[in-house]
Structure 1
Amino acid sequence: MLRRGFLAGAVGVGAGVALTACTSNTPAGNNAAPAPGAAAPAGNNAAPGRPVTIGFSAPAADHGWIAAIAKNAQAQAGQYPDVTYQPVNPTNDITQQIAAVETLINKKVDALVILPNDGSQLTSLGRRAMQAGIPVVNLDRIFDTPLAYRCWIGGDNYGMGVSAGNYIANRLRERNVAQPVIGEIAGIDNLPLTQQRSQGFKDALASFGFSVGPRQAADFTAQGGQRVAANLLQAAPRLDALWNHDDDQGIGVLAAIQQAGRSEFFMVGGAGSSNAMQAIQADNTVLKATVTYSPTMASSAISLARLVAQRRGLGDLVEHEVPASITLASATVTKDNVGEYLPLGFES
């Protein structure tokens, strides 16, 4: 599922600060001078610049979201005639990832986009590239220090939890549900991203006077989701709502719900897979919404690496440089707006 033209498409998933700015909004023929204290837009970032080579490294595609990361990066690089794209073999072995990126550093590529298996363990590699004069766009899993990257772009894990909590709480209020039982199926509990998602969910519910009820952690796989959901459903004879952190593991969660014959509650997913969005569109399961953590961020990372390597900024921003940090917003996808987001979904 190649994602062409995500320079514009990713804006709908929350990369507005980065990508809306990639093209000027000045109408053709508009020669009006900028207001005092403002600067004229920098122009069309899609226009060809000097040729650059962008290296890319990410983990192996053992998960639908990761698979989409690699596809999106390659598709976006293909949009630019001035970009030579040099990916290295994806791997879940940190030592192998370090060795592969070192080859790109030795080739003196113009920029690197790195989604590290582990941000902490690859921080020294990012610093080495930066010290060699190769700007690094750090994708999602962040390095330990800004000295290891020129720009970071990634999703908002805390914001995912907030979006899920707000949707659930508002829907329960509309139904006048008092003292609701709200379940949560998390990802891997010892990961900071899972902890951030859960904290955002808890905080959002608390702002409505609600709290998280039965909660169990899975492992971001369909098999783990099915096993954990079956256990949670057995322990909770009543549920009003359920948030599942990840749409890949949500395949198993939905299977467990159907096997248990439960339909008294509604569910919210996480990440924004096309499978989940198709179920939301069909409206024939308990899944009524998902909150995005879109792999289109890889498309954006390639676009940003190109601009940094060409020493260009974002067209609609006054500053001459690409920002140092860009956090994507987590959109809430429901039956009302699923048509807008479905083309950006990834296959679980």
Structure 2
Amino acid sequence: MDSQRRLLVAGLAAVPLAGAAGVLGTLVSASAFGQQKKYRFGFSQVTTVEPWRVQFNKDMKAEAGKHPEVDLVIADAGDRTDKQNADMENFIAQKMDAIFISPKESAGLTGVVEKAFKAGIPVFVLDREVNGNDYTQFIGGDNVQIGREAGSFVVKLLGGPGHAQGNLVEVWGGFGAQPAHDRHDGAFSVISKEPGIKLVGERVDCDWKQDKAYEYMKTVLRVNSKIDVVYGHNDPMAYGAYLAAKDAGRDKSIKFVGIDGLPQEGATWVEHGLLAGTFMYPTPGAEGIRQALKLLHGEKIPKKVTLPTQGIFADNAKAYIASH
């Protein structure tokens, strides 16, 4: 009887121990799960006024949302270099695991990018480059190549290589931003070979803005009775120029070319016949998140990632919009 009682007591004692072991196992698992590495990413965006920038942020947030270990903080600089510098300093002070920046201008933000990089924080420069090489990676489209493709399309609109004739207006983006210079250089590496193409209008900084392009185009229309093609460094400016021509009753005689190719914007304007063509300038945010995670997981990443482009014209605009 004593031996049976001892077995029963031992058995009963084993039950809470087994239960405790199960609870302990659960606690260990929960603890291990809770210790999953969280990454804090800071992104200094130059502005959220331009539609391309809004899409840029959406793409970045969507990619970050696929990775529960990523905590993404986006700071809007309000199109001000001083605010963007302050946002970057804040990210450095917070010791972010990675910092992303799409600079308003190259020179004015090179110093703070270098500071973050030398503090040991991976820095990803998106869309617009800074000076020097003190950053982890640059991700963006090849603006010279996109410019070349736009320039070739302008030549085609004016009669083709060796035969092109007509007056061309160029609407500039921000003078302090490298993409504006690259889009000019690329386009005119092709256009300048055509002696029949005459560039009219002054070189004015329209800062990528539709309203500034509208005002600039109003002035150009007043002093030039013949304009054949307008090349805008982005779609909003090409569209602003179109609206000015429309208000002057001259939109039917001018063709408009832009860059960006957002489905709800430039591509739609092409589909509706307002722009003759545009060239996709992909946003780099999603790729930035992917590249940063590769680096933090121990993979080697290249110094530069170039995103592809695509021409959008009357014959493919509808299909392009449907696929996006």
Give the TM-score band, short-chain normalised: 0.7 to 0.9
Report the Cα distance in structure 2 between the residues aligned to 1:266 and 1:218, rounded to whole angstroms. 21
Q: Does residue 1:86 correspond to 2:76, yes or no?
A: no
Deviation at 1:305, TM superposition (A): 1.6
Aligned twin of 2:219:
231
Query: Which runs of 5 or more residues in structure 2 are unaligned?
Result: 1-35
Query: Which runs of 5 or more residues in structure 1 are unaligned?
Result: 1-48, 313-320
Report the Cα distance in structure 2 between the residues aligned to 1:227 and 1:89, rounded to whole angstroms. 26
Structure showing greater radius of gyration is 2
Deviation at 1:252, TM superposition (A): 2.1
Q: Does residue 1:105 correspond to 2:84, yes or no?
A: no
Which one-letter code corresponds to 1:114 in the other structure?
I
| SS in structure 2 of the partner of residue 170 of structure 1 | helix
Higher helix share: 2
Report the Cα distance in structure 2 between the residues aligned to 1:50 and 1:111, rounded to whole angstroms. 14
Q: Does residue 1:272 correspond to 2:272, yes or no?
A: no
Change beyond 3 A, Cα 1:335–1:186: same
Aligned twin of 1:131:
118
Aligned alpha-carbon RMSD (Å): 2.8
- Of stretches 207-216 and 262-271 in structure 1, the one that deviates more from structure 2 is 207-216
Report the Cα distance in structure 2 between the residues aligned to 1:152 and 1:180, rounded to whole angstroms. 38
Deviation at 1:176, TM superposition (A): 9.6
Match of residue 336, structure 1, among 303, 315, 318: 315
Report the Cα distance in structure 1 between the residues aligned to 2:164 and 2:113, rounded to whole angstroms. 51
- TM-score normalized with structure 2 length: 0.77
Kindly, what percent of the aligned residue pairs are identical? 25
Aligned twin of 1:172:
158
| SS in structure 2 of the partner of residue 271 of structure 1 | coil
Deviation at 1:329, TM superposition (A): 3.9
5 Å matches for 1:256-267?
256-262=244-250, 263-267=252-256
Change beyond 3 A, Cα 1:61–1:156: same
Q: Does residue 1:293 correspond to 2:281, yes or no?
A: yes
Change beyond 3 A, Cα 1:279–1:137: same
Q: Does residue 1:322 correspond to 2:311, yes or no?
A: no
Aligned twin of 2:4:
none
Deviation at 1:308, TM superposition (A): 1.5
Report the Cα distance in structure 1 between the residues aligned to 2:186 and 2:153, rounded to whole angstroms. 13
Which whole-Å deviations, capped at 9, do the CAs of 1:131-174 have from their partners, x for residues lacking one? 33221111122222212x11011233322321111012124336
Report the Cα distance in structure 1 between the residues aligned to 2:232 and 2:241, rounded to whole angstroms. 8
Deviation at 1:189, TM superposition (A): 4.4
Report the Cα distance in structure 1 between the residues aligned to 2:191 and 2:39, rounded to whole angstroms. 47
Which one-letter code corresponds to 2:229 in the other structure?
A
CA contact (8 A) 1:90 1:97 kept: yes
CA contact (8 A) 1:247 1:272 kept: yes
| SS in structure 2 of the partner of residue 67 of structure 1 | helix
- TM-score normalized with structure 1 length: 0.72
- Of stretches 180-189 and 246-255 in structure 1, the one that deviates more from structure 2 is 180-189
Report the Cα distance in structure 1 between the residues aligned to 2:191 and 2:88, rounded to whole angstroms. 42
Report the Cα distance in structure 2 between the residues aligned to 1:221 and 1:84, rounded to whole angstroms. 31
Aligned twin of 1:61:
48
